[in-house]
Chains A and B, each alone.
Chain A
């Protein structure tokens, strides 16, 4: 699986090399996810039915998409807090202005992408061109966006278009969850982007900005478009969240913010930039939401969910650090 580590390494054909790259990449988090799913299936025999899988996927999609956007920014050595604001705005816009039918859904999703891209462009301009620190810049845009969300919808309420809430949470041919397809499409797009100069440049500026600049990479432009792409993913996350909740809430994006960082870290992407990948983050997000289900079905009070999520996060980060150290000695 060539989805995670640093881009494009030559095939050296050695089985240990493949294993090594697998564990450095998404391997650990995929295994963790499978282990939890087996546990979930043991506790809840109906877990493997298409309906349960789709429900799980629907729960995961908003966080997975938001964390995927966060991954882009983190890879380029930055943090993006505007995620919470963008998702909230998209959610309240869809609740205040429901557009029915497939055409309405298309307009809605384009609107969400536009909102995300605009906020991302502001972030990219502040961080890339004005050289503000990313936390400060995106903190400001997050606060502004949350304010705008409250202006649009003062209290939770409103209804998201029925077409969206039904179709986007449905299954194709009663088997494949639509939300899963959306996430898969994003992962697929990422795999293509990784094989462009833009994709390689994201990794390059994340690892060493001045070396990248001396190598001829236009650092400002790459940063700008990284934030724009991330913003569009937050917009998509807001769209999928609205389909899921079917209602509007001006603070709906807030709970996803810190979980997005958890998903990134769980997927093994270095918060220092330059190392990691988007697929592993998606699996990290899936693991976090699956954990809630596992705890619920084993009868643990939901108050403990946060506790367990934190412990799994620490365990995963420590373990991947341990594996990396063995690798360095190899």
Chain B
């Protein structure tokens, strides 16, 4: 493979090794989820597992933690055979996982969840609510979460707290191996998490860390194993591997990382959207314009009004005052459906693809062509071939493999779901797209495809307003960028002035950002 690839140290003495897995595979019928995975986790080491969506990371995690039993492969823990048949068996070997999709039961209390499946009992042999809560609170405080009420019902807690509880539970059960699957998906900051990981590391726990955020991986991990298409590609030391090397191993080909020149947007192109003094819940007096062929980025910390701004523009939230003009006409729509048909049309791609985007039971093809149905229907009926042909065209625009079109979309990986949604958005034929974090939680390859699709859309005269939680994305994609702070437009950057440092400074409300950065630069 690449020059930095380091062979797995098979010759090291088993006593220093915590968990080794060789040639692990798992298939579901004809679908191969994991073909041949090798990984060695050492005590006191934080090991990253990298790979695109669908590379088999989650399957490997589930195998290591006993949630599924592999078809083949050899696993050893502390030099002894390790074949967990279920989660509890893995837990009895002190191997525990914080799952990506969170495995907390929503209608139970925090303490009950921490102690499942065996709760503390009183002398009568019945569960003692008091003891359960006391034990739960003890576990929480052991992991720096005293502020969480152990008696609170999980569904009443914000997502970030639930993720911390999930992590705390795995920390509690992981005496030897701790597996963290996308532990920062809902966490805004990593301080608490990294402190806990370092504590576990000091105890001699082997940690497997899975994340799409390479900066984070570099901060906490020393070694990385890269999976691609269900196979281990290489295990590398992170010190000697550049981002480019890693992306190349993940994707299988070099990734273009140079920022393309901003398209020349001069004052002569038509104004597609003009927003003046817009106010609504959390949106405070925002004015801006979006021209034909322009990609306008929005950068902001969590909850600065970006969500509300998008929802207001899409007609999902009522505005309190201000005007929105589309193609020169005042917007009068109260639903996304109306927005699609208003003048040249606006289409909104929401952030929560599982709840707001996909229709999980239907095929990817049907999901893609939904907005096209009236156009391809004959006398109200839809031919299978017509649907496939229409879907194929749309899928091509986002570089989505045709063979996925016949699968139920819920069975596809997150990256392919997002591609399908992007294809659907493009298929609406509107001229303006509102994209809210369009690459959230997807892999590098999918990101590139989505960027290319957005770029092509703008080149054909389409206008794009997008928010992203990842700054490199804004830097790479946006012709112009507005930073929101407290519901207002705090600062605006154009073309080459868009850099991560400046955006960060403006996002935390630091004025004169441009000057200070220019001086240091």
Question: In angstroms, how far is the closest chain A Cβ from the Cβ of B56?
Answer: 19
Is A197 touching B112 in the complex (CB atoms < 8 A)?
Answer: no
Question: Which positions 114-169 of chain B face chain A at CB distance < 8 Å?
Answer: 116-119, 126-127, 129-130, 132-133, 150-151, 153
B116-A10 in contact (CB<8A): no
The answer to whether B106 and A197 have CB atoms under 8 Å apart is: no
Is B104 part of the binding interface, using a Cβ–Cβ cutoff of 8 Å? yes
Given contacts A214-B67, A214-B103, contact A8 B109 (CB under 8 A): yes
Stretch from A31-39, A82-90, A203-211 at the B interface: A203-211
Contact between A215 and B126, CB atoms less than 8 A apart:
no
The interface size of chain A toward B, counting residues with CB under 8 Å, comes to: 29
Docked CA distance A274–B132 (Å): 20
B-side contacts of A274, CB under 8 Å: 106-107
Q: Assuming A8-B132, A10-B151, is B126 touching A216 (CB within 8 A)?
A: no
A-B contacts counted at CB < 8 A amount to 86
Residues of B within 8 A of A212 (CB): 105, 116
- Residue A192 at the B interface, CB < 8 A? yes
- Per the bound structure, the CA–CA distance linking A238 and B101 in Å amounts to 44
Nearest-CB residue, chain A, relative to B169: A215
Quick one: CB contact mask for A184-223 with B, threshold 8 Å, 1 for yes?
0000000010011101110110111011111111100000
Instruction: Collect the chain A residues with CB atoms within 8 Å of residue B132's CB.
Output: 8
Complex CA gap A275/B107 in Å reads: 8
Q: Is there contact, CB below 8 Å, between B129 and A208? A: no
Q: Is A9 an interface residue (CB 8 A)?
A: yes
Q: Given A197-B119, A200-B119, A215-B105, decide whether A10 and B133 contact each other with a Cβ distance below 8 A.
A: yes
Q: Judge if A305 is at the interface, Cβ distance under 8 Å.
A: no
Interface residues on B, range: 20 to 34
Q: A196-B127, A197-B127, A214-B103 are in contact. Are A204 and B109 (CB under 8 A)?
A: no
A325 vs B112: C-alpha distance when bound (angstroms): 25
- Residues of chain A with a CB closer than 8 A to B99's CB: 214
Across the interface, do B107 and A207 meet the contact criterion of CB distance under 8 Å? yes
Are the CB atoms of A207 and B129 closer together than 8 Å? no
Residues of B within 8 A of A200 (CB): 108, 112, 116, 119, 127
Nearest chain A residue, comparing its CB with the CB of B125: A196
Q: How far is the CA of A290 from the CA of B212 in the complex (A)?
A: 61
Minimum distance in angstroms from A225 CB to a CB of chain B = 14
Q: Does B91 contact A (CB under 8 A)?
A: yes
Contacts of A192 in B (CB 8 A): 126
B418 within 8 A of partner (CB): no
Report the minimum CB–CB distance from A146 to chain B (whole Å). 33
CB of B181 to closest CB in A, whole Å: 11
| Closest CB in chain A relative to B170 CB, distance in Å | 11
Q: Which residues of A contact B91 (CB under 8 A)?
A: 216
Q: Is B88 an interface residue when CB atoms closer than 8 A count as contact?
A: yes
Given the complex, which residues of B lie within 8 Å of A216, measured CB to CB? 86-88, 91, 116-117
Could you tell me the distance in whole angstroms from the C-beta of B85 to the nearest C-beta in chain A?
12
For B107, what are the chain A residues with a Cβ–Cβ distance below 8 Å?
Answer: 6, 203-204, 206-207, 274-275
B102 interface residue (CB < 8 Å to A) = yes
| B425 at interface, CB cutoff 8 A | no
Interface residue from A10, A197, A211 paired with B118 (Cβ < 8 Å): A197
Select one of A9, A195, A199, A215 contacting B113, CB under 8 A: A215
Interface residues of A (CB under 8 A from B): 6-10, 12, 192, 195-197, 199-201, 203-204, 206-208, 210-218, 274-275
Listed by A's residue number, 19 A-B pairs whose Cβ atoms lie within 8 Å are A8-B127, A8-B129, A9-B109, A9-B129, A196-B127, A200-B127, A204-B107, A204-B108, A206-B107, A207-B105, A208-B106, A210-B103, A211-B102, A211-B105, A215-B103, A215-B113, A215-B116, A218-B117, A274-B107
